[in-house]
């Protein structure tokens, strides 16, 4: 890394300018490639980079990690750190609870978020190596001096008259060189490249070297991950946490995970905390809402439609999708949307309000939809915005803005499983979905 690189640290949704950060004073984007990268980051709202008279101003959004833009290296830390972050991360993505002390050290120090993910991948890989790697049978057609498998009689007949001491054979040796291990190998190399901690990088490279003795390299992209999803079965279930981590690392480097997505190769790593927040709430609501069912990314079909006689380009209308719909039987009880933005400390953006207003009005007059947002503020309380008919002056819907205390949720998840803990988690999930804890009779 060039000696002239200026390192700047901030938290999510914070801003640093030349006026309050001396390292940004006199820092400018000299190269066209740097300006193009800054423009892409700003337009995608991963990191807002602006050139001003006295230097660069950077504004963080929901993305955390570390990225280099021209003369500056920006590290963005999540607000929730330490053990609570480790707990929420592992619960949200179904990771194993291993190497606890190391994980907390990475989450509380100056390391970027990718170090925590890379460490978890190292731990998951060590667990897989200890259990034994997945092995598969591979078909081979070879001419062998010591026959194996089945002799290929057709090829043997075609060789009639040829003097040879070997026979054509079809056989199926077991090997570690299968797709899931190839993805794991490339994931380790990826994690080593983006890690800024030398000890962790060495650990990842040693694991990759061990794996590379029997596993061939591949191109790690959406095609490999899609093929793995199609071929995955119960035999590779133990790999799921590691594959999840590799997908997160790959996506956070700007690599497309679906066909047709554009790539923004980053000189660094930026992870969208919305992914963590949505996965966290989705799993918690599914597991602890009792008699209710939770459908994620529920499609509100038919809400918008082109008039048949006025759709000259034959385009498909947009289909709104709330993050979660809580249902009892076939009846939708409430629409919920997770927004990773502390709306107690910051203003509610208009686009969020308009989106939730559409969800509320789609349910009929007087109905509501709820935004769930993260906070660590002890005094955060629920707020409501009324949707009023502009001519009749009557309330036709409501948008509920409901805080989720991440520290309290982490504390609940850290506690050993028991009947009392399960009741407490159920009450917390009920409060998230409906705004009030479970009635006393439902807690028994």
CB-based burial label for 150 (10 Å; 0-12, 13-18, 19+): exposed
- In degrees and rounded to multiples of 5, residue 443 shows phi and psi of -80, -20
- Looking at residue 280, its pLDDT comes to 96
The H-or-E segment that residue 304 falls in is none
Q: How far apart are CA 269 and CA 65, in angstroms?
A: 5
Q: How far apart are CA 182 and CA 277, in angstroms?
A: 30
For the chain (444 residues), the mean pLDDT of every run of 10, in chain order, is: 74 92 90 90 91 92 90 90 87 77 59 83 92 85 83 80 76 85 94 88 95 91 88 89 91 60 66 93 94 90 88 90 92 93 94 94 89 95 93 90 96 93 94 74 42
DSSP 3-state of 396: strand
DSSP 3-state of 137: strand
**How many residues are present in the chain?**
444
- Looking at residue 99, its pLDDT comes to 57
- Looking at residue 439, its pLDDT comes to 47
CA 344 → CA 81, 256, 386, 434, 435, distances in Å? 19, 33, 18, 19, 16
Q: How far apart are CA 165 and CA 202, in angstroms?
A: 48
**Token pair recorded at residue 1:** 């890394």
Model pTM above 0.75: yes
- Looking at residue 334, its pLDDT comes to 93
Cα 84 from chain centroid (whole Å): 17
| Residue 191: count of CB within 10 angstroms of its CB | 29
- Looking at residue 149, its pLDDT comes to 78
CA 2 → CA 70, 71, 182, distances in Å? 11, 9, 33
**Token pair recorded at residue 416:** 């050993």
Cβ partners under 8 Å of residue 138, min gap 6: 172, 173, 175, 177, 178
- In degrees and rounded to multiples of 5, residue 48 shows phi and psi of -90, 115
- Looking at residue 1, its pLDDT comes to 42
- Looking at residue 437, its pLDDT comes to 58
Backbone CA torsion sign across 297, 300, 301, 306: negative
Closest CA to 323 of 230, 232, 404: 404
CB-based burial label for 440 (10 Å; 0-12, 13-18, 19+): exposed
**Token pair recorded at residue 4:** 């002239």
Please measure the distance between the N-terminal and C-terminal CA atoms of the chain and give it in whole angstroms. 60
Q: How far apart are CA 74 and CA 8, in angstroms?
A: 5
| Residue 138: count of CB within 10 angstroms of its CB | 12
């Amino acid at each position: 890394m060039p000696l002239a690189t200026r390192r700047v640290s901030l938290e999510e949704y914070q801003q640093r300018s030349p006026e309050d950060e001396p390292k940004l004073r006199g820092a400018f984007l000299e190269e066209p490639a740097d300006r193009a990268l800054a423009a892409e980051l700003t337009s995608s709202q991963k990191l807002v980079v602006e050139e001003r008279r006295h230097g660069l101003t950077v504004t963080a959004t929901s993305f955390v990690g570390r990225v280099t833009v021209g003369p500056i290296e920006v590290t963005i830390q999540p607000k929730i750190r330490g053990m609570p972050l480790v707990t929420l991360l592992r619960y949200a993505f179904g990771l194993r609870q291993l190497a606890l002390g190391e994980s907390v050290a990475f989450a509380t120090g100056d390391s970027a978020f990718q170090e925590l993910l890379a460490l978890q991948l190292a731990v998951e890989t060590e667990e897989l190596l200890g259990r034994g790697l997945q092995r598969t049978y591979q078909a081979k057609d070879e001419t062998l001096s010591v026959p194996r498998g089945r002799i290929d009689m057709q090829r043997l007949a075609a060789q009639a008259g040829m003097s040879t001491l070997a026979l054509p054979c079809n056989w199926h040796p077991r090997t570690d060189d299968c797709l899931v291990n190839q993805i794991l190998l490339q994931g380790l190399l990826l994690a080593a490249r983006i890690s800024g901690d030398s000890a962790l990088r060495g650990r990842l490279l040693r694991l990759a070297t061990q794996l590379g003795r029997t596993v061939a390299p591949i191109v790690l992209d959406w095609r490999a991950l899609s093929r793995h999803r199609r071929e995955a079965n119960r035999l590779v279930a133990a790999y799921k946490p590691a594959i999840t981590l590799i997908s997160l690392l790959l996506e956070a480097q700007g690599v497309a995970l679906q066909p047709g997505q554009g790539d923004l190769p980053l000189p660094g790593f930026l992870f969208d905390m919305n992914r963590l927040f949505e996965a966290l709430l989705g799993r918690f609501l599914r597991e602890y809402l009792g008699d209710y069912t939770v459908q994620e990314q529920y499609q509100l079909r038919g809400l918008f439609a082109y008039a048949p006689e006025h759709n000259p380009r034959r385009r498909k209308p947009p289909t709104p999708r709330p993050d979660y719909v809580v249902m009892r039987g076939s009846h939708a009880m409430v629409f919920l949307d997770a927004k990773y933005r502390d709306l107690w400390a910051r203003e509610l953006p208009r686009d969020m309000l308009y989106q939730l207003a559409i969800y509320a009005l789609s349910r009929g007059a007087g109905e509501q939809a709820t935004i769930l947002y993260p906070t660590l503020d002890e005094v955060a309380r629920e707020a409501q915005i009324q949707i009023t008919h502009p001519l009749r002056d009557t309330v036709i819907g409501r948008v509920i803005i409901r805080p989720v205390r991440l520290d309290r949720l982490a504390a609940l998840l850290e506690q050993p499983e028991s009947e009392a803990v399960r009741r407490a988690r159920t009450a917390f999930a009920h409060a998230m979905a409906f705004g009030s804890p479970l009635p006393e009779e439902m807690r028994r």
